[in-house]
Amino acid sequence: MGQNIVEKIIARHLMEGQLVPGGEIGIRIDQTLTQDATGTMAYLQLEAMDVPRVKTDLSVSYIDHNTIQIGFENADDHRYLQSIARKFGIVLSRAGNGICHQVHLERFGKPGITLIGSDSHTPTCGALGMLAMGAGGLDVAQAMAGEPFYLICPRIVRINLRGKLTSWVSAKDIILKVLQIFTTKGNVGTVFEYGGEGAAALSVPERATITNMGAECGVTTSIFPSDEMTRVFLRAQHREADFRELQPDDDAIYAKVVEIDLAELQPLTARPHSPDNIGTVRDMKNIAVDQVCLGSCTNSSYKDLVRVAKILKGRTAHPAVSFILAPGSRQVLENLARGGYLADLIAAGARLMENACGFCIGNSQSPQSGAVSLRTSNRNFPGRSGTMDADVYLVSPETAAAAVITGHFTDPRDLGMVYPPVEMPEKFLIDDSMFLRPDNADRVSEIHRGPNIGAPPKNTALPDTIAAEVTIKVGDKITTDHIIPAGARMKYRSNIPKYSEYVFENVDPNFAHNAQKIKTAGKQNIIVAGVSYGQGSSREHAAICPMYLGVRAVIALSFERIHAANLINFGILPLTFLHSGDYEKIDQGDDLEIANVRKLIGAGTDLLIINKTKGCSFSVACDLSARQKQIVLAGGALNVRSENK
Ligand code: MIC
Ligand code: SF4
């Protein structure tokens, strides 16, 4: 029987389990990446593992998120990361070098290999025909220590791209269409494998826009074949030697095949406040625009920005529009500059930001109150921009450029311009001098630890009876941005007691206080949620900080993959309602009791929850593999490691 691309890669990396969708497998990881906002915690955990050097083929630590550096905290974290990289044999990508996913695609990704990264957009590198997945920092640390990465063996959905894109419609519109079809929920345990003549015609950076935002569907990852386009890209990166072809077999089997006709697509937008709230740009009926942000790891490639430079050449940003430009990498910026395109963008009024995450994570360029902001990034969750009442729309670079000119939502086809062609350089100008390669001679070095950096907290073993209060009841599609905000709070990523003060800050500002009170009274906290709990970021702080506040279980209608893994890693039970009606009956403040927890978890049977306040009971499922049971019983993965020593 033939294999698809994903099966081919998994088969070559399988260490535990069977290549059968639905069961847990452990795979060998060739490369890892971390970024600074999740990296400090990942490396603190790696330090606790007692391994002298990383065991992967390549591990890269990027500094790209917290580069605004107000206060000492971020700069201290950067120093810590630099010293850790030297000690453990990790490549450090210095602040200023660019956004991890864009840089990894340019300089390190290779067809056929595996990559995990402590960032949910790690699937970006799927554009090169590699199996690239987001994970919590602890999972990445374990992979660096040479251990398998565990995941549910995915079901593979083939997305067949037919036909050809028309002028002014681009890769962002393809992934917005995919989001319209699949939405942001219900895709756990799935991988999107792209193919068809439409896919073959897309360049690697265009494919990367699509694999990047597959993360918004909640899939394990997305992948393209490795073909002539891949070779062209790698050659342009002076890395043709890394090329190898990777195609599905002719008789490969897929769980489902979905067809998208590229010729039928039109400019689309994700309206506030979810990446799957899709509409056509034309239907936005001239909504006035206050801000346009061009960049992020989704659409900040050379091709994207040259296209915008050509559209804007000789024009000036509309007086009502604040036009923000953040190139994805130093390579993109330098190539733009040397090609003269940067000058055109600056002349058009672009406010040039650092080539880093910046506006995308809300740690700069928050728009005015009630603003309409058009962004080429990948998430428009409420408050993520840093302005709670702003309306953020996700759009293609072409649609963004049109709004810069007109000051309102404009279908770029209505600009009356000829769609400017973009030639990709045969060879990019490459300068790797902002990578610090580990020097083998310098193995023993001092680790810099600023006052903001604390030890990763550990949970206690799972008690036999959970006596708890429902500290919060939330609805569907709660993102990790809701659970623990980023933006201005990101500088506390290495300081769990401080960061924990902000858990659910924008949903219930009293959450942290109430949780502490319940914990001090000797009880546990329980979070109750609807479907798709834990969408978005991979930040394990969305598990660590609630754990620190005494949360022992989350009862939800369904969970997203990375967040569920993070909860387990820190000893928090992910419990699933068996009947949606039970979700309706429970309220914040209810007293719950779960007896015989250890025994029932061990046996893999449903748990009975008694709602003492309401005088009723209901059952929940706790579907865990044998490995995961051991972790939750011990109160977290770090505890299992100490027990096994
Ligand atoms: C994001 O886009 O939300 C982030 C910030 O890159 C996160 C990681 C983090 O929270 O540090 C992600 O996507 O995983
Ligand atoms: Fe950075 Fe935004 Fe990409 Fe996250 S989504 S890695 S914050 S650019």
Q: What is the mean pLDDT of the chain?
A: 97
- pLDDT at position 285 is 85
User: CATH 3.20.19.10 in the chain, residues?
Assistant: 466-644
Q: How confident is the model at residue 444 (pLDDT cuts 50, 70, 90)?
A: low
Task: Provide CATH 3.30.499.10 ranges for the chain.
Answer: 5-264, 268-415
The pLDDT of 474-496, averaged and rounded, is: 95
Could you tell me if 208 and 199 are in contact, meaning their C-beta atoms sit under 8 angstroms apart? no
pLDDT tens digits for range 18-77: 999 999 999 999 999 999 999 999 999 999 998 999 999 999 999 999 999 999 999 999
Answer yes or no: is pLDDT of 445 > 80: no
Task: List, for residues 207-234, the tens digit of each pLDDT value.
Answer: 999 999 999 999 999 999 999 999 999 9
Q: Say how far apart CA 376 and CA 400 lie, in whole Å.
A: 7
Q: How high is the pLDDT of residue 378? A: 98
Q: How many A from CA of 298 to the centre of ligand 2? A: 8
| Residue 119 alpha carbon, nearest atom of ligand 2 | 6
**Is the CB of 103 inside a 6 Å radius of any atom of ligand 2?**
no
Ligand 1: nearest atom to the Cα of 215: 13
Give the whole-angstrom CA distance, residue 561 versus residue 574: 11
Instruction: Please say if the pLDDT value at position 440 is more than 60.
Output: no
Closest-lying ligand to the alpha carbon of 208? 2
Q: What would the mean pLDDT of 599-607 be, rounded to a whole number?
A: 97
Exposed/middle/buried for 487, CB within 10 Å: 0-12, 13-18, 19+?
Answer: middle
Residue nearest to atom 3 of ligand 2 (CA): 297
What pLDDT is stored for residue 328 in this prediction?
97
Out of 35, 40, 120, 139, mutate this one to test ligand 1's pocket (max ligand atoms within 8 Å of CB): namely 120
pTM above 0.95, yes or no: yes
As a whole number, mean pLDDT of residues 97-124 equals 98
Q: Give the tens place of pLDDT for each residue, 146-180.
A: 999 999 999 999 999 999 999 999 999 999 999 99
CA of 502 relative to ligand 1 center, distance in Å? 16
pLDDT at 2 over 70: yes
What pLDDT score does 492 carry?
95
Q: Is pLDDT of 630 > 80?
A: yes
Question: Tens digits of per-residue pLDDT, 589-602?
Answer: 999 999 999 999 99
Cβ(538) to ligand 1 under 6 A?
Answer: yes
Q: Retrieve residue 362's tokens.
A: 């809300």
Tokens matching residue 17: 């389990």
Buried b (16+ CB within 10 A) or exposed e, 296-335: bbbbbbbbbbbbbbbbbeeeebbeebbbbbbbbbbbbbbb
pLDDT(479) > 70: yes
pLDDT digits (tens, 9 = 90+) for 517-537: 999 999 999 999 999 999 999
| Per-residue pLDDT at 296 | 97
pLDDT at residue number 151: 98
Judged against a pLDDT cut of 70, whether residue 131 lies above it is answered with yes
Query: 365 forms bridges with which residues in the sheet?
Result: none
CATH of domain 466-644: 3.20.19.10
Give me the CATH topology for the region 268-415. Answer: Aconitase; domain 3 (3.30.499)
The pLDDT, as a whole number, for residue 159 is: 98
Which residue CA neighbors atom 10 of ligand 1 most closely? 539
539 lines ligand 1 (CB under 6 A): yes
Q: How far is the CA of 301 from the centre of ligand 1 (A)?
A: 19
Give the pLDDT confidence score for residue 180 in this predicted structure.
98
Nearest-atom number in ligand 2 for the CA of 295 is 8
Percent of the chain with pLDDT over 90: 96
Q: Pocket of ligand 2, candidates 105, 293, 377: which has the most ligand atoms within 8 Å of its Cβ, to mutate?
A: 377
Q: Tens of pLDDT along 357-388? A: 999 999 999 999 999 999 999 999 999 999 99
**Mean pLDDT across 5-27:** 98
From 65, 103, 363, 392, the mutation candidate for ligand 1 (largest count of ligand atoms within 8 A of CB) is 65
Span 251-297, pLDDT tens digits: 999 999 999 999 999 999 999 999 999 999 999 988 999 999 999 99
Question: 502 falls in which pLDDT band (50, 70, 90)?
Answer: very high
The protein residue whose alpha carbon is closest to atom 2 in ligand 1 is: 537
Residue type, 48: A
* pLDDT mean over 424-439: 94
pLDDT of the residue at 576: 98
Structure tokens given for 343: 């000058």
Q: In this predicted structure, what is the pLDDT of residue 50?
A: 87
Residue with tokens 């209505």: 414
- Collapse the DSSP code of 164 into the 3-class scheme (helix H, G, I; strand E, B; otherwise coil) and give the result: coil
Q: Which atom of ligand 1 is nearest to the CA of 562?
A: 14
User: 539 alpha carbon to ligand 1 midpoint, in Å?
Assistant: 6
Nearest CA to ligand 1 atom 12: 537
Superfamily of domain 5-264 in the CATH hierarchy? Aconitase, domain 3 (3.30.499.10)
pLDDT at 443 over 80: no
Dihedral sign of CA atoms 419, 423, 429, 430 in order = positive
Q: With a cut of 80, say whether residue 456 has pLDDT above it.
A: yes
HSE-up of 43 (CA within 13 Å, CB side)?
A: 34
Name the pLDDT band for 446 (thresholds 50, 70, 90): confident
Please say whether the beta carbons of 530 and 482 come within 8 A: no
Q: Which two tokens stand for residue 482?
A: 């809701």
> Please, which pLDDT band fits residue 643 given cuts at 50, 70 and 90?
confident
Q: Is 342 in the pocket of ligand 1 (CB under 6 A)?
A: no
Confidence band of 467 (pLDDT split at 50, 70, 90): very high
Ligand 1 in reach of 544 Cβ (< 6 A): no
Residue 136 has pLDDT above 80, yes or no: yes
For tokens 């449903």, the residue is: 606
pLDDT, one tens digit per residue, over 553-568 is 999 999 999 999 999 9
Ligand 1 pocket test target in 299, 535, 539, 540 with most atoms within 8 Å of CB: 539
Cβ atoms of residues 93 and 431 within 8 Å = no
Residue 632 pLDDT level (bands cut at 50, 70, 90): very high
> Does 99 score more than 90 pLDDT?
yes
Q: What is the DSSP secondary structure assignment for residue 559, as one 8-state letter?
A: B
Q: How far apart are CA 590 and CA 606, in angstroms?
A: 21
Tell me what the mean pLDDT of segment 312-324 comes to: 98
CA distance 502 to 252: 48
pLDDT at 442 over 70: no
